[in-house]
Amino acid sequence: MGAARVSGPSTRTFKLTLAYDGAAYVGWQRQQNGPSVQATIESALEPLAGGMPVTLVGAGRTDAGVHALGQVASVKMLTSINADALARALNATLPLDVRVLALSEVPDAFHARFDATAKRYRYRLLHGQTVSPFERRYAWFIPAQFDDARLEAMAQPLIGTHDFAAFQAVGSDVQTTVRELRAITVGRGAPGALASHPSAEVTTIDLHGSGFLRHMVRIIIGTLVDIGTGRLSPDAIPRALERREREAAGRTAPAHGLFLVRVEYGSGP
């Protein structure tokens, strides 16, 4: 049975909510050096657009190895297929490490990136005697334990609107490094049945902000880990904010522990 169709083909705009395992991809953005999430979805969309090229716009350009629980993308395409059938057709074609969670038709003016008002990220740290073979692609293994409540307290100077120049990748080209971080919380829990040792635990660090610089989340995480393990002093974060130089902050956490959880639009999620 073919995909359900509306009365006739027309150029329409769709909003897609996506989940993906970023381990096999060079990142969201289309690149020449390997498969990207963007190009993978575009290749699945083009036959549904009569073979015409399509351009998918993502709300966040996740790096190689970064995962998504709720990435949002928009696409304009000439098609007569309705939204529900389009979602089913995509999931039937896409590799299993990329899934369409929701798909809806939206006004033509909608833009997944420029209309986003906030994003939520989560970073996972795995603690224990040894790294789990099942968690190795989804958490940064840090054998040392540290005080999560203290770590959250150390992160509080980041809350608010600041110049985050010390927390961006070297060589980034942006008009301003001022961003608003609305919340950062640290929690602890068991990793689940796939842990390689019964004493294993996971620290989750959740960040909510209006926008993020390149590698900003990962540098914040690396700085917090460096504080928690004693590599940096407890006042490292306010000092880095004041100096506005990359070397003032901590290391860049590995990509594989990071998840784009949700993209928000308008006044709500």
- Is 1 a residue whose pLDDT tops 60? no
For tokens 């990207």, what's the residue? Answer: 36
Residues of the domain holding 82: 5-106
Residue 207: which CATH number?
3.30.70.660
Q: What pLDDT sits at residue 129? A: 79
- Is 192 a residue whose pLDDT tops 80? no
Q: Identify whether residues 120 and 82 lie together within a single domain.
A: no
Q: Identify whether residues 170 and 249 lie together within a single domain.
A: yes
- Is 41 a residue whose pLDDT tops 70? yes
Write out the H or E segment, with its range, that includes residue 153. Answer: helix 148-155
Residue 88: which CATH number?
3.30.70.580
Classify residue 111: in a domain, yes or no. Answer: no
Q: Identify whether residues 63 and 189 lie together within a single domain.
A: no
Domain boundary among 106, 125, 145: 106
Catalytic position from the list 63, 115, 147, 235: 63
Domain boundary among 106, 140, 168: 106
Q: Identify whether residues 91 and 121 lie together within a single domain.
A: no
| Dihedral (Cα; 76, 78, 82, 88), 10-degree rounding | -80
Domain boundary among 53, 86, 106: 106
Alpha carbon separation from 66 to 63, 187, 258 (Å, rounded): 6, 20, 5
Confirm if 218 and 251 have CB atoms less than 8 A apart: no
Q: Identify whether residues 48 and 163 lie together within a single domain.
A: no
pTM across the whole model: 0.92
Distance CA 218, CA 140 (A): 11
Q: Identify whether residues 230 and 258 lie together within a single domain.
A: yes
Task: Please compute the mean of the pLDDT values over residues 138-149 and round it to a whole number.
Answer: 89
What pLDDT digit, counting tens, does each position of 75-127 carry?
Answer: 999 999 999 999 999 999 999 999 999 999 999 999 999 999 999 999 999 98
Q: Identify whether residues 99 and 123 lie together within a single domain.
A: no
Q: Identify whether residues 120 and 83 lie together within a single domain.
A: no
The number of helices, as runs of H, and strands, as runs of E, in the chain is 5, 10
Q: Identify whether residues 138 and 247 lie together within a single domain.
A: yes
Task: Please compute the mean of the pLDDT values over residues 143-164 and round it to a whole number.
Answer: 92
Q: Locate 254 and state its tokens.
A: 């590995």
Please confirm, yes or no, whether 235 is among the known catalytic residues.
no
Q: What pLDDT sits at residue 96? A: 98
Q: Identify whether residues 124 and 85 lie together within a single domain.
A: no
Distance CA 158, CA 153 (A): 10
Q: Identify whether residues 215 and 247 lie together within a single domain.
A: yes
The count of structural domains within the chain is 2
